[in-house]
Protein backbone atom coordinates (compact mmCIF):
# COMPACT_ATOMS: atom_id res chain seq x y z
CA UNK A 1 0.00 0.00 0.00
CA UNK A 2 1.23 3.48 -0.87
CA UNK A 3 0.49 6.23 1.63
CA UNK A 4 1.43 9.88 1.28
CA UNK A 5 1.79 11.80 4.54
CA UNK A 6 1.37 15.56 4.75
CA UNK A 7 1.86 17.69 7.88
CA UNK A 8 -1.23 19.50 9.20
CA UNK A 9 -0.02 22.01 11.73
CA UNK A 10 1.96 20.77 14.72
CA UNK A 11 -0.51 18.15 15.92
CA UNK A 12 -1.65 16.13 12.90
CA UNK A 13 -0.65 14.25 9.77
CA UNK A 14 -2.86 13.83 6.73
CA UNK A 15 -2.58 10.38 5.14
CA UNK A 16 -3.53 10.18 1.47
CA UNK A 17 -4.33 6.62 0.37
CA UNK A 18 -6.86 4.42 -1.41
CA UNK A 19 -8.17 2.20 1.39
CA UNK A 20 -9.14 4.76 4.02
CA UNK A 21 -11.53 2.46 5.90
CA UNK A 22 -9.05 -0.41 6.03
CA UNK A 23 -6.24 1.90 7.18
CA UNK A 24 -8.47 3.44 9.83
CA UNK A 25 -9.58 0.02 11.04
CA UNK A 26 -5.94 -1.07 11.42
CA UNK A 27 -5.13 2.04 13.44
CA UNK A 28 -8.16 1.54 15.67
CA UNK A 29 -7.10 -2.03 16.37
CA UNK A 30 -3.51 -1.08 17.23
CA UNK A 31 -3.15 2.71 17.55
CA UNK A 32 0.43 4.06 17.52
CA UNK A 33 1.53 5.89 20.64
CA UNK A 34 0.18 9.41 20.87
CA UNK A 35 -2.70 9.12 18.41
CA UNK A 36 -5.73 10.96 19.82
CA UNK A 37 -8.18 11.17 16.89
CA UNK A 38 -8.82 9.76 13.41
CA UNK A 39 -10.91 11.81 10.97
CA UNK A 40 -11.72 9.97 7.70
CA UNK A 41 -12.64 11.57 4.37
CA UNK A 42 -13.05 10.23 0.84
CA UNK A 43 -9.35 9.62 0.11
CA UNK A 44 -7.62 10.87 3.25
CA UNK A 45 -7.35 10.15 6.95
CA UNK A 46 -6.41 12.93 9.36
CA UNK A 47 -4.37 11.51 12.23
CA UNK A 48 -4.22 13.87 15.22
CA UNK A 49 -1.55 13.22 17.85
CA UNK A 50 -0.39 14.45 21.24
CA UNK A 51 2.97 16.23 20.77
CA UNK A 52 3.83 15.44 24.40
CA UNK A 53 3.84 11.73 23.47
CA UNK A 54 5.14 11.61 19.89
CA UNK A 55 6.11 13.80 16.96
CA UNK A 56 5.40 13.85 13.24
CA UNK A 57 8.56 11.97 12.37
CA UNK A 58 8.00 9.04 14.74
CA UNK A 59 4.30 8.86 13.96
CA UNK A 60 4.94 9.02 10.22
CA UNK A 61 7.35 6.10 10.44
CA UNK A 62 4.74 4.11 12.39
CA UNK A 63 2.00 4.92 9.87
CA UNK A 64 4.13 3.72 6.97
CA UNK A 65 4.34 0.32 8.62
CA UNK A 66 0.56 -0.05 8.90
CA UNK A 67 -1.21 -2.53 6.64
CA UNK A 68 -4.95 -2.04 6.05
CA UNK A 69 -7.28 -4.67 7.44
CA UNK A 70 -10.80 -5.69 6.48
CA UNK A 71 -12.82 -2.67 7.61
CA UNK A 72 -15.70 -4.98 8.51
CA UNK A 73 -13.58 -6.13 11.44
CA UNK A 74 -14.09 -2.69 12.96
CA UNK A 75 -17.80 -3.30 13.32
CA UNK A 76 -19.81 -0.29 14.46
CA UNK A 77 -23.06 -2.23 14.03
CA UNK A 78 -25.63 -2.38 11.25
CA UNK A 79 -28.54 -0.03 10.67
CA UNK A 80 -31.48 -0.99 8.45
CA UNK A 81 -33.20 2.03 6.90
CA UNK A 82 -36.73 1.60 5.53
CA UNK A 83 -37.22 3.64 2.36
CA UNK A 84 -40.28 4.65 0.37
CA UNK A 85 -38.88 4.76 -3.17
CA UNK A 86 -40.83 7.65 -4.68
CA UNK A 87 -38.07 10.24 -5.11
CA UNK A 88 -38.24 13.02 -7.68
CA UNK A 89 -35.24 11.66 -9.56
CA UNK A 90 -36.11 7.97 -9.39
CA UNK A 91 -37.48 7.68 -12.93
CA UNK A 92 -34.69 9.81 -14.41
CA UNK A 93 -31.97 7.76 -12.72
CA UNK A 94 -33.62 4.55 -13.92
CA UNK A 95 -33.71 5.85 -17.48
CA UNK A 96 -30.10 7.07 -17.30
CA UNK A 97 -28.85 3.71 -16.03
CA UNK A 98 -30.96 1.68 -18.46
CA UNK A 99 -32.84 -0.02 -15.61
CA UNK A 100 -36.49 -0.26 -14.83
CA UNK A 101 -37.57 1.51 -11.64
CA UNK A 102 -38.14 -1.87 -10.00
CA UNK A 103 -34.68 -3.09 -10.97
CA UNK A 104 -33.08 0.13 -9.72
CA UNK A 105 -34.80 -0.28 -6.34
CA UNK A 106 -33.73 -3.94 -6.20
CA UNK A 107 -30.11 -3.00 -6.84
CA UNK A 108 -30.15 -0.18 -4.32
CA UNK A 109 -31.62 -2.37 -1.58
CA UNK A 110 -29.25 -5.23 -2.43
CA UNK A 111 -26.19 -3.12 -1.60
CA UNK A 112 -24.18 -3.64 1.57
CA UNK A 113 -23.14 -0.13 2.55
CA UNK A 114 -20.60 1.25 4.97
CA UNK A 115 -20.46 4.77 6.35
CA UNK A 116 -17.06 5.89 5.06
CA UNK A 117 -17.02 9.41 6.47
CA UNK A 118 -19.33 12.27 7.46
CA UNK A 119 -19.33 15.76 6.04
CA UNK A 120 -21.30 18.55 4.37
CA UNK A 121 -23.73 18.71 7.33
CA UNK A 122 -23.86 17.09 10.81
CA UNK A 123 -24.88 13.45 10.37
CA UNK A 124 -24.48 13.42 6.57
CA UNK A 125 -22.80 10.04 6.06
CA UNK A 126 -21.21 9.13 2.74
CA UNK A 127 -22.14 5.48 2.24
CA UNK A 128 -19.89 3.32 0.08
CA UNK A 129 -20.94 0.01 -1.46
CA UNK A 130 -23.31 1.12 -4.20
CA UNK A 131 -23.79 -1.11 -7.23
CA UNK A 132 -21.57 0.43 -9.97
CA UNK A 133 -24.64 0.59 -12.22
CA UNK A 134 -26.05 3.22 -9.84
CA UNK A 135 -23.06 5.57 -10.02
CA UNK A 136 -24.61 8.71 -11.48
CA UNK A 137 -23.53 12.33 -11.51
CA UNK A 138 -25.07 15.02 -9.36
CA UNK A 139 -27.79 17.21 -10.83
CA UNK A 140 -26.47 19.99 -13.03
CA UNK A 141 -28.68 22.42 -11.09
CA UNK A 142 -28.84 21.76 -7.32
CA UNK A 143 -32.13 22.09 -5.50
CA UNK A 144 -32.43 24.93 -3.01
CA UNK A 145 -34.10 22.68 -0.42
CA UNK A 146 -34.04 18.92 0.02
CA UNK A 147 -36.28 17.58 2.81
CA UNK A 148 -34.73 15.72 5.75
CA UNK A 149 -34.85 11.96 5.35
CA UNK A 150 -34.33 12.09 1.59
CA UNK A 151 -32.42 9.05 0.32
CA UNK A 152 -30.12 10.00 -2.53
CA UNK A 153 -27.21 8.93 -4.72
CA UNK A 154 -24.34 10.80 -6.32
CA UNK A 155 -21.16 9.40 -7.79
CA UNK A 156 -20.19 6.24 -5.93
CA UNK A 157 -22.10 7.17 -2.77
CA UNK A 158 -25.55 6.87 -1.25
CA UNK A 159 -26.75 9.09 1.59
CA UNK A 160 -29.66 10.10 3.79
CA UNK A 161 -30.11 13.85 4.21
CA UNK A 162 -30.09 14.52 7.98
CA UNK A 163 -31.74 17.93 7.73
CA UNK A 164 -33.33 20.25 5.21
CA UNK A 165 -30.61 21.78 3.04
CA UNK A 166 -29.65 22.65 -0.52
CA UNK A 167 -28.20 19.77 -2.49
CA UNK A 168 -27.50 18.33 -5.88
CA UNK A 169 -27.79 14.60 -5.15
CA UNK A 170 -30.32 12.50 -7.06
CA UNK A 171 -33.35 11.70 -4.91
CA UNK A 172 -34.51 8.07 -4.93
CA UNK A 173 -36.83 8.06 -1.93
CA UNK A 174 -37.41 9.02 1.68
CA UNK A 175 -37.23 7.56 5.16
CA UNK A 176 -38.62 8.47 8.57
CA UNK A 177 -35.38 7.41 10.24
CA UNK A 178 -33.60 10.37 11.85
CA UNK A 179 -29.92 9.92 11.12
CA UNK A 180 -29.03 13.01 13.17
CA UNK A 181 -30.82 13.81 16.43
CA UNK A 182 -29.31 16.16 19.02
CA UNK A 183 -31.60 14.62 21.67
CA UNK A 184 -30.02 11.20 21.09
CA UNK A 185 -26.74 10.03 22.59
CA UNK A 186 -24.79 9.88 20.37
CA UNK A 187 -26.66 12.12 17.90
CA UNK A 188 -25.14 10.52 14.78
CA UNK A 189 -26.86 7.27 13.80
CA UNK A 190 -24.30 6.50 11.06
CA UNK A 191 -20.77 7.19 12.33
CA UNK A 192 -17.90 5.98 10.14
CA UNK A 193 -17.68 2.20 10.07
CA UNK A 194 -21.42 1.63 10.49
CA UNK A 195 -22.89 -0.93 8.10
CA UNK A 196 -26.13 0.14 6.42
CA UNK A 197 -28.83 -1.61 4.46
CA UNK A 198 -31.82 -0.06 2.75
CA UNK A 199 -35.19 -1.85 2.79
CA UNK A 200 -38.03 -0.90 0.45
CA UNK A 201 -41.37 -0.21 2.15
CA UNK A 202 -44.71 1.20 1.04
CA UNK A 203 -45.86 4.64 2.09
pLDDT by residue (tens digit) across 76-122? 578 999 999 999 999 999 999 999 999 999 999 999 999 988 988 89
Buried-state track 39-71, b at ≥16 Cβ within 10 A, e below 16: bbbeebbebbbeeeebebeebbebbeebebbeb
Give the CA distances from residue 27 to residues 10, 96, 146, 188, in Å, rounded to whole numbers and listed in that order: 20, 40, 36, 22
Q: Which CATH architecture has domain 78-200?
A: Beta Barrel (2.40)
Range(s) of the chain covered by CATH 2.40.100.10: 78-200
pLDDT of residue 22: 86
The H or E element spanning position 159 is strand 157-160
Q: Residue 187 burial (CB < 10 Å; 0-12/13-18/19+)?
A: middle
Cα–Cα dist 169/136, whole Å? 9
Cα–Cα dist 118/28, whole Å? 18
pLDDT of residue 95: 96
SS3 assignment for 77-100 = CEEEEEEECCCCCHHHHHHHHCCC
pLDDT tens over the chain, length 203 residues? 688 999 999 999 999 988 888 888 889 889 999 999 988 888 899 999 999 999 999 999 999 999 888 655 455 578 999 999 999 999 999 999 999 999 999 999 999 999 988 988 899 999 999 999 999 999 999 999 999 999 999 999 999 999 999 999 999 999 999 999 999 998 999 988 899 999 999 98
Range(s) of the chain covered by CATH 3.30.1360.40: 4-68
The H or E element spanning position 197 is strand 195-200
Q: Which residues contact 170 (CB under 8 A, 6 or more apart)?
A: 87, 89, 92, 93, 136, 138, 139, 152, 153, 154
Give which of 85, 102, 82, 86 is closest to 94, Cα–Cα. 102
For 4-68, CATH number out of 1.50.10.10, 2.60.120.620, 3.40.47.10, 3.30.1360.40 equals 3.30.1360.40
Question: What is the DSSP pairing of strand 78-83 with strand 195-200?
Answer: parallel
Amino acid sequence: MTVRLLPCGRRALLAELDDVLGFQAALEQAPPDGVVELVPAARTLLVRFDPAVTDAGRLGAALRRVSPVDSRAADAGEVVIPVVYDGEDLADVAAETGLSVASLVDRHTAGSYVSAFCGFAPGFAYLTGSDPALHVARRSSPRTRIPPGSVAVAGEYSAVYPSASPGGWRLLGRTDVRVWDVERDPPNLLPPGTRVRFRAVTA
